[in-house]
Amino acid sequence: MSGFLQDFWFSITRPRRGRPKLELDSSTLQTVAVLAEQENRAPDEVAAELLQAGLRDRQETVMAQLLWQCLTPREQDVTALICQNLTTRQIAARLYLSPDTVKTHARHILDKFNVPNREALRQMLSGWDFSAWA
């Protein structure tokens, strides 16, 4: 058995109740293999890297969600529209404010998320769904 099979078999045989099973379709595995071959690396290494990168993203999402809860309702509105790539003017028109007011909210938002600019905010929340503010 390969090291992976050993590990997996070991985790299955451990006395754990209701442990979920890890099941991937073979096409994903094959794509990993193809990519690994292109990069001259072991597929398990590539897969681990991809998984770990994805997991890191998710953990950052948890942090961002906590910070989101610290926003006022108005700030959440402005955040959502910023992340949908609306300009200050567009946001102002949408929320019936002056552009300067939008910038004030943006200032507060960036401070609460501790990011240097709107781009960094958008990057931080890039996987979020803001369609409720469409």
Partner DNA sequence: TTGACAATAGAACTTTAGTTCTATAAAATG
Partner DNA sequence: CATTTTATAGAACTAAAGTTCTATTGTCAA
Q: Among residues 48 and 93, whose Cβ is nearest to a copy of itself?
A: 48
Confirm or reject binding of residue 132 to a copy of itself (CB under 8 A). Answer: no
Q: How far apart are CA 45 and CA 64, in angstroms?
A: 29
User: What track of x and - describes contact with a copy of itself for positions 81 through 110 (by CB under 8 A)?
Assistant: ------------------------------
Joined together, the tokens standing for residue 122 give 């958008």
Total residues interacting with DNA, rule: CB under 7 A: 23
Confirm or reject binding of residue 63 to a copy of itself (CB under 8 A). Answer: no
Angle value at C-alpha 99, between 93 and 100, nearest 5 degrees: 155
Q: How far apart are CA 77 and CA 90, in angstroms?
A: 13
Confirm or reject binding of residue 44 to DNA (CB under 7 A). Answer: no
